[in-house]
């Protein structure tokens, strides 16, 4: 290459402004003109997550000028009243600082339609509102309908969206539906629900939210596994002894009886969040990160995943009783308002799974989750086998545990590697040490909230982080036997709030000669 070659100005036609190059995947993509209609707009999800996420996206410059948000609920609110509600939730829960100019611009596109789901006239008004937004506010016919409502209400809302033509795609505009879990309460009801939704919206217009997939640390599982050479050679049954996936919460269920009673920990979080974590940990490398390739690999690993039996020994369930959360005395589930004192709903669940593939044959996956546990932590621990031979006296390795790689999903996001190291001194003594990667110290960038990421992806039509129908159905297929077994026998075992679950959970893993990590 001659020196002059370096300095020759690039021809105009080959020069691309990197800020405008849609092929540059590092740049944040900005949603095109569109609107979001939220059903269930008076609920907690909307107030604490969706509205703040919309504002944060606007604040980061990721929403277009032609953007609108319409609330639909029974309240007798005007657009102005609804805007006040949105403003309050932004002030209470947004993650980015409040900027009056951003809010003023957003507020111009805020609308409210009052009515119930079976009220044809209300849906006709919604149709007129959306048409007016397209004409006057530049939303260009592109609309997402967010069903932040119980699944029993999906059929009637979907029918209304079909009747009014609001669900109809056009050549020049899109319509999408966003649905929140629970996607049914077993395989049969999930299939029915999917049929109802798919009758109105084609599968590629359906976005099922599993907010764990919107978390940075969860997406990082893919980077950790597939961007590095270090881990893949040992990511299999030759080296891995078992995998523990823990999602522990310190909060109780006060105020959530309406949703949680009769649902329980398996349906609430194992069916979705924890099985998605298992799928990302256990899947093979996708040929690309295209939505089909990524989701196809998750489907494969889920279809190879099965409960290990006998279920009395390989599963455990519990229900929190009164206890101490730090220095605070807290009530048990039976004293929480809205829960039946006879309630059999489990607030803790642990199960044992196997993944019948060449990579994972013989490696148990232990999943556990619970409310009112010792502390809030979600992690995936890949625990390795002992070295086949230790050239040390037993006394030298008394404090050596198993090597482990722990993906810390939250809080304190990062990755820990645990291995043995020589204790300084004249004797050879080996003790476990950890090596840490922590988001807080390695990056200056902050992570967006999961809902921010997922909402933006809905508006961009980017479906990779949304489970497909098949994943949902496979997850129920895996779990239905344990739900049936528990419904037919026994009751959850009590555990005092602030502890790590019922003794049955320790016994469950103990039978295999292993023990739970104390995160």
Query: Which residue numbers are catalytic?
Result: 273
| Smallest distance from ligand BG6 to CB 256, Å | 7
Tell how strand 430-438 and strand 414-422 pair up.
antiparallel
Task: Identify which of residues 200 and 269 has a Cβ nearer to ligand BG6 in the complex.
Answer: 269
Site for ligand BG6 in 372-431 (CB under 6 A): 378
Residue choice 268, 336, 429, 480 for contact with ligand BG6 (CB under 6 A): 268
Task: Identify which of residues 247 and 382 has a Cβ nearer to ligand BG6 in the complex.
Answer: 247
Tell how strand 175-180 and strand 206-209 pair up.
parallel
Contacts of 180 by beta carbon, 8 Å cutoff, 6+ apart: 45, 147, 148, 149, 209
Q: Nearest-CA neighbor of 373 among 299, 323, 441?
A: 323
Q: Which residue is nearest to ligand BG6 (CB)?
A: 268
Task: Identify which of residues 206 and 218 has a Cβ nearer to ligand BG6 in the complex.
Answer: 218
Task: Identify which of residues 363 and 381 has a Cβ nearer to ligand BG6 in the complex.
Answer: 381
Task: Identify which of residues 252 and 364 has a Cβ nearer to ligand BG6 in the complex.
Answer: 252
Per-position x/- string for 450-479, each x denoting binding to ligand BG6 as judged by CB under 6 A, each - no binding: ------------------------------
Task: Identify which of residues 36 and 218 has a Cβ nearer to ligand BG6 in the complex.
Answer: 218
Site for ligand BG6 in 7-66 (CB under 6 A): none
Coil vs helix vs strand at 159: helix
| Smallest distance from ligand BG6 to CB 378, Å | 6
Contacts of 377 by beta carbon, 8 Å cutoff, 6+ apart: 246, 248, 408, 410, 411, 519
Residue choice 56, 249, 346, 452 for contact with ligand BG6 (CB under 6 A): 249
Question: How many chain residues interact with ligand BG6 (CB under 6 A)?
Answer: 4
**414 strand-pairing partners:** 408, 438
Q: How far apart are CA 443 and CA 74, in angstroms?
A: 44
Specify the DSSP element, H or E, that contains 41: none
| Smallest distance from ligand BG6 to CB 45, Å | 9
Contacts of 504 by beta carbon, 8 Å cutoff, 6+ apart: 316, 317, 318, 350, 493
- Are 245 and 366 in contact, with CB atoms under 8 Å apart? yes
Contacts of 474 by beta carbon, 8 Å cutoff, 6+ apart: 299, 302, 303, 305
Coil vs helix vs strand at 303: helix
Task: Identify which of residues 63 and 274 has a Cβ nearer to ligand BG6 in the complex.
Answer: 274
Burial class (CB in 10 A: 0-12, 13-18, 19+), 67: buried
| Smallest distance from ligand BG6 to CB 411, Å | 9
Residue choice 269, 396, 407, 458 for contact with ligand BG6 (CB under 6 A): 269
Spell out the SS3 assignment of 369-403: EECCECCCEEEEEEEECCCCCCCCCHHHHCECCCC
| Smallest distance from ligand BG6 to CB 269, Å | 5
| Smallest distance from ligand BG6 to CB 249, Å | 6
Contacts of 55 by beta carbon, 8 Å cutoff, 6+ apart: 86, 90, 94, 96, 102, 103, 106
| Smallest distance from ligand BG6 to CB 450, Å | 7
List residues binding ligand BG6 (CB under 6 A).
249, 268-269, 378
């Amino acid at each position: 290459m001659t020196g002059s070659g370096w300095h020759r100005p690039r021809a105009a036609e080959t020069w691309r402004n990197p800020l405008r190059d849609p092929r540059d995947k590092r740049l944040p993509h900005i949603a095109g003109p569109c609107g979001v209609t939220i059903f269930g707009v008076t609920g907690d999800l909307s107030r604490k997550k969706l509205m703040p996420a919309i504002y944060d996206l606007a604040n980061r410059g990721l929403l277009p000028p032609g953007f609108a948000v319409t609330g639909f609920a029974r309240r007798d609110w005007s657009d102005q009243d609804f805007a006040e509600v949105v403003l309050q939730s932004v002030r209470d829960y947004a993650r980015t600082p409040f900027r009056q100019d951003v809010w003023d611009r957003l507020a111009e596109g805020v609308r409210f339609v009052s009515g119930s789901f079976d009220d044809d006239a209300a849906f006709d008004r919604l149709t007129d509102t959306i048409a007016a937004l397209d004409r006057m506010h530049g939303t260009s016919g592109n609309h997402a309908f967010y069903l932040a409502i119980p699944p029993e209400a999906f059929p009637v809302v979907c029918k209304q969206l079909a009747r009014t033509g609001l669900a109809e795609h056009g050549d020049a505009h899109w319509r999408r539906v966003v649905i929140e879990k629970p996607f049914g309460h077993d395989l049969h009801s999930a299939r029915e629900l999917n049929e109802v939704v798919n009758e109105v919206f084609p599968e590629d217009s359906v976005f099922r939210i599993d907010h764990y997939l919107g978390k940075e640390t969860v997406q990082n599982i893919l980077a950790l596994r597939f961007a590095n050479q270090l881990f893949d050679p040992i990511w299999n049954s030759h080296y891995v002894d078992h995998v523990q996936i823990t999602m522990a919460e310190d909060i109780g269920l006060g105020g959530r009886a309406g949703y949680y009673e009769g649902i329980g920990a398996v349906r609430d979080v194992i069916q979705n969040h924890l099985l998605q974590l298992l799928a990302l940990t256990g899947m093979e490398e996708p040929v690309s990160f295209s939505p089909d390739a990524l989701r196809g690999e998750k489907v494969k690993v889920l279809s190879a995943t099965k409960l290990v039996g006998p279920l009395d020994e390989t599963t455990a369930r519990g229900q929190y009783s009164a206890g101490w959360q730090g220095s605070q005395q807290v009530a048990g589930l039976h004293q929480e308002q809205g829960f039946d004192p006879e309630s059999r709903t489990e607030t803790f669940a642990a199960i044992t799974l196997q993944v019948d593939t060449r990579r994972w044959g013989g490696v148990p996956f232990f999943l556990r989750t619970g409310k009112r546990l010792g502390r809030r932590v979600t992690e995936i621990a890949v625990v390795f086998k002992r070295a086949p031979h230790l050239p040390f006296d037993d006394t030298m390795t008394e404090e050596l545990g198993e090597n482990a790689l722990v993906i810390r999903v939250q809080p304190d996001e990062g990755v820990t590697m645990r291995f043995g190291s020589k204790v300084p001194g004249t004797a050879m003594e080996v003790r476990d040490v950890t090596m840490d990667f922590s988001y807080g110290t390695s990056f200056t960038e902050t992570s967006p909230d999961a809902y921010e990421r997922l909402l933006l992806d809905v508006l961009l039509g980017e479906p990779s982080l949304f489970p497909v129908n098949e994943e949902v159905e496979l997850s129920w297929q895996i779990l239905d036997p344990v739900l049936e077994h528990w419904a037919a026998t026994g009751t959850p075992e009590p555990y005092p709030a602030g502890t790590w679950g019922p003794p049955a959970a320790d016994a469950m893993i103990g039978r295999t000669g292993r023990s739970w990590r104390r995160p």
